[in-house]
Amino acid sequence: MDLIYLNREDFAKWDEFVQNSPQGSIFSKSWYLDALGVDYKILAVTQKGSIKAGIVLAKNEVNTFSNPMLDKYLGFLFIKEDGNYQKQISNRYQYMNILANEIKDITSFDYYFHPNFTNWIPLYWKGFAQQTRYTYIIDNSRSLEEIESRFHHNIKRNIKNAIKNGVEVRREIPFEDLWYVVNKTFLRQGSKAPFNKDRLKRFINDLMNRGSFISFGAYNDRNEPIAVLGFVYEEKSSYLLLNGVDIDREIRGANALIVKESIRYFYNICQKYDFEGSMIEGIEQFYRRFGGELIPYYRVWNDNIFNYLKTIAKKYYKRFKYGR
């Protein structure tokens, strides 16, 4: 078995591997990373030329080996294997050991893994640390009636209020509207959006050209956007990446209404609807009330003083900046 960094000419093969891997998602595909405009390399375990496992090692905005913004799930991906369960597990342990031996030298290694990565024991043995985080996911194999019947009664009531107040839902809204409301949401929380407007515009354009991004907006009767959503999607799942509310113009239920409409939109297009978190107190409660299942995913990092201090610094920065 070989461990190699893939060349650009192997990226199409990598993307196909990602497509078929249970831990693979759009976030690990090379064209998605290119659209984000981040530095990355791909480490793969191969056998007789076929990829058995791998990991995207992307650098984030502060140049450390960690998820860039808008790139939610990375981490280890494995080939889908059939047959004997015990054999599959021991193969996975072997792949993980090979990858871990290489990445343990990357001091800043700190990534969010895909929810289908559910066993980090070999990484524990190699000196990594783990933390469980959560997202809410709606399974689209249920009927739409069942999905909507699970909404919390406050959500249902608020949606009715938004409809009664003439809130209009639009799809594929202008980028300026999306940006305006998302940025305003960050400003309200104490800082500007943590991504650059031009970069976001380019990223969204690239994804729209590939048919994997869509936005939704709730508009008031003065044609002003009052809540917006931005989704990345593929057949496996839709991912709620951007959510903004203009609190000055807010009509109760407008945000819930567009979430509901987006759930309906993706129902026939994707297998799952992923709220993409959140661990933030107010946001978590809002997403929880759409009745999705609480799904854990892992953050895995190299357990060293650099990452410990980074985590502490991040915590204090958030407390100082956003009061949470």
Nearer to another protein, 51 or 137 (CB): 137
How many residues bind to another protein according to rule CB under 8 A?
29
Min. distance of Cβ 132 from another protein in angstroms?
5
Any bridge partners for residue 111, and if so which? 300
Site for another protein in 77-136 (CB under 8 A): 85-86, 89-90, 118-121, 124-125, 127, 129-132, 134
Q: How far apart are CA 110 and CA 103, in angstroms?
A: 10
Nearer to another protein, 54 or 122 (CB): 122
Q: Strands 50-58, 76-78: parallel, antiparallel or unpaired by DSSP? A: antiparallel
Nearer to another protein, 27 or 113 (CB): 113
Residue 184's Cβ-side half-sphere holds a number of Cα atoms within 13 Å equal to: 17
Of 222, 226, 211, 221, which Cα lies nearest the Cα of 172? 211
DSSP state of 236: S
Q: How far apart are CA 19 and CA 31, in angstroms?
A: 12
Task: Burial-class residue 202 by CB neighbours within 10 Å (0-12, 13-18, 19+).
Answer: middle
Min. distance of Cβ 52 from another protein in angstroms?
20
- Write down the H helix ranges in the chain: 11-20, 30-36, 85-103, 121-125, 144-149, 153-164, 175-188, 197-209, 254-267, 281-288, 305-322
Counting contacts by CB under 8 A, is residue 313 touching another protein? no
Q: How many CB atoms lie within 10 A of CB 242?
A: 22
Which residues lie below 8 Å from residue 25, measured CB to CB, with a gap of 6+? 18, 72, 73, 114, 234, 236, 237, 239
Nearer to another protein, 149 or 205 (CB): 149
Min. distance of Cβ 275 from another protein in angstroms?
13
Site for another protein in 227-286 (CB under 8 A): 279, 281, 284
Which residues lie below 8 Å from residue 243, measured CB to CB, with a gap of 6+? 182, 185, 227, 228, 229, 230, 255
Which of 104, 152, 156, 199 is close enough to bind another protein by CB under 8 A?
A: 152
Min. distance of Cβ 234 from another protein in angstroms?
27
Min. distance of Cβ 87 from another protein in angstroms?
9
Polymer length in residues for the chain: 324
Nearer to another protein, 99 or 214 (CB): 99
Min. distance of Cβ 178 from another protein in angstroms?
29
Counting contacts by CB under 8 A, is residue 149 touching another protein? no
- Candidate segments 7-15, 161-169, 219-227, 307-315, binder of another protein by CB under 8 A: 307-315
Binding site residues, another protein, CB under 8 A: 85-86, 89-90, 118-121, 124-125, 127, 129-132, 134, 152, 279, 281, 284, 288-289, 294, 296, 298, 303, 308, 312, 315
